[in-house]
Chain A
Amino acid sequence: MNRERYKVGLAAALLIALVSTASAQQSASTSASDIDPGAVAALDKMGAYLRTVKTFRVTAMTTRDTVLDNGLLVKRDGKADILAQFPSHLRIETVNGEKQRLYLYDGKNFTLYGKVIQYYATMPAPPTIGQLAAVLADKYDIELPLEDLFWWGTERVNSSAIVAAADAGPADVQGTTCEHYAFRQEGIDWQIWIQLGDNPLPRRLVISTTTDEARPQYSAVYTWDLAPSFNEAAFTFEPPAEAKRIGFATVADSAGAN
């Protein structure tokens, strides 16, 4: 009799212990307090706003670390100049060191051209910038410069990937008052500065890669023009006389040029 009672008591104690351990573990990994819902909402709001901007020109000064085999970081500066007319026109010029690239998309074809090396490659392209960005990333391993500007506000954003989010308060980016947020996802810790007011544009982005102990960083500071002037010819490629055509290597079929 006593023994039975003892057994029941033991089982209950074990159960309580188990339950409390489980909840303790849960709070360690996914505690709601790690995620400031306001920070996530601000991100969503920025994305939704970005998708309402149908024409923009944005220039960005970027830096990107490369990690040498011995762990040393080497930071390189770059510049990107993007003219986008949604849904189907894009012109991007980049300069990274000696490497210059021109990306052109007119809704029908996508061309990548190297001004210094004088090679260009052209392929038929899907009908929207969003689809183009996806094809380039998934099939050709081509990152559109500042590609997040095309992803935010689309179904490609996975909010549940965010495991920590904080609002770091107001901060100035090149004379514009922004709200500064910090986020953690698998493999990256990142920060964004979002313009305060009616036009919640991203003004600055910093991404630290956490899968490498050297924690290499990427950063971009954006300058926006929401009423750019341009003409249609800006999006179409006319190969210069000295430029020669080559192909694109695909990621999937492991073979070379098309």
Chain B
Amino acid sequence: MTKVILRQTMAAVLTALLAATTGLALPNKPGGGGGGGSRGQAKSSVNNAGNRNSNSNRNTNVNENRNVNVNQNKNVNRNSNVNVNRNVDVDVDVHHRGGYYGGGCCYNSNPIATAAAVTATAMVTAAVIGSVVNTVPAGCTTTVINGMAYQQCGSTWYQPQYAGTSVTYMVVGHP
């Protein structure tokens, strides 16, 4: 009888310990802490009614019918508002972030661009033409074709663009 109780207590203690350690371990993960994204920004104008729906999903997806991808994905208008769970280090002003995951910052100052954009890491597996990312993976090459800049990352091509005042990258077919 006492043995059973003891065993149960031990189990409970172990579970508690386990929970405690996992809880403690989390913040040590690279780029951990913070998490999530931002839900909006202070309005900066009193006269511009549009300034404003601070989390509008800009639909930057094009229905382009030059699907180079093997997966015959119909390019439906998907709202690529994927909440990838990492610290979005947006308001980025570089072509790509270096090797480590997450970077320092944990919010972005352009929710519009971010809401519509999936992170580059998520896109590597499925670079659907017309989808938009905030940064391109490391190791891409800048190429200028017909006077316009592109980023070539393996077989995937990105076309940088100003979405608002932030640069985003749209996956395009080989230009």
The answer to whether residues A68 and B170 also contact, given A114-B93, A147-B45, A248-B162 and a CB cut-off of 8 A, is no
Q: Which of B1-9, B12-20, B32-40 contacts A (4 or more CB under 8 A)?
A: B32-40
Instruction: Enumerate chain B residues within 8 angstroms of A97, measured Cβ to Cβ.
Output: 91, 109
Instruction: Enumerate chain A residues within 8 angstroms of B111, measured Cβ to Cβ.
Output: 66
Q: Which of A19-27, A30-38, A138-146, A171-179 contacts B (4 or more CB under 8 A)?
A: A138-146
How many pairs, one residue from A and one from B, have CB atoms within 8 Å of each other in the complex? 178
Q: Which of A62, A151, A207, A257 contacts B161 (CB 8 A)?
A: A257
Q: State the CA gap A254–B116 with chains docked (Å).
A: 11
Contact status A151-B48, CB under 8 Å: yes
For B108, the closest partner residue in chain A by CB is A66
Q: Is A119 an interface residue (CB 8 A)?
A: yes
Contact status A147-B48, CB under 8 Å: yes
Instruction: Enumerate chain B residues within 8 angstroms of A190, measured Cβ to Cβ.
Output: 46
Q: Which of A65, A67, A69, A99 contacts B93 (CB 8 A)?
A: A99
Q: Is A9 an interface residue (CB 8 A)?
A: no
The smallest C-beta distance from A209 to any residue of chain B, in angstroms, reads 5
Contact status A256-B43, CB under 8 Å: no
Q: Is B58 an interface residue (CB 8 A)?
A: yes
Q: State the CA gap A156–B108 with chains docked (Å).
A: 29
Instruction: Enumerate chain B residues within 8 angstroms of A117, measured Cβ to Cβ.
Output: 93-95, 167
- Residues of A in contact (CB 8 Å), total 59
Q: State the CA gap A216–B110 with chains docked (Å).
A: 14
Which residues of B line the A interface, CB within 8 A?
34, 36-52, 54, 58-62, 77, 91, 93-95, 106-109, 111-112, 130, 132, 142, 144, 147-149, 159-168, 170, 172
Which residues of A line the B interface, CB within 8 A?
62, 64-70, 74, 76, 96-101, 112, 114, 116-117, 119, 121, 137-138, 140-143, 147-148, 151-152, 156-158, 183, 185, 187-188, 190, 205, 207-209, 212, 216-218, 244-249, 251, 254-257
- CB-defined A-B contacts under 8 Å, sample of 16: A68-B36, A112-B165, A116-B94, A137-B48, A138-B50, A141-B50, A147-B45, A207-B43, A245-B147, A246-B161, A248-B161, A249-B60, A249-B162, A249-B163, A251-B58, A254-B77
Q: Which 9 residue pairs of A and B lie closest in terms of their CB atoms, listed nearest first?
A: A151-B47, A216-B42, A244-B149, A69-B36, A218-B42, A249-B163, A257-B161, A254-B59, A256-B170
Known A207-B43, A209-B40, A254-B62; further 6 A-B contacts with Cβ < 8 A = A66-B38, A67-B39, A143-B44, A256-B159, A256-B161, A257-B170
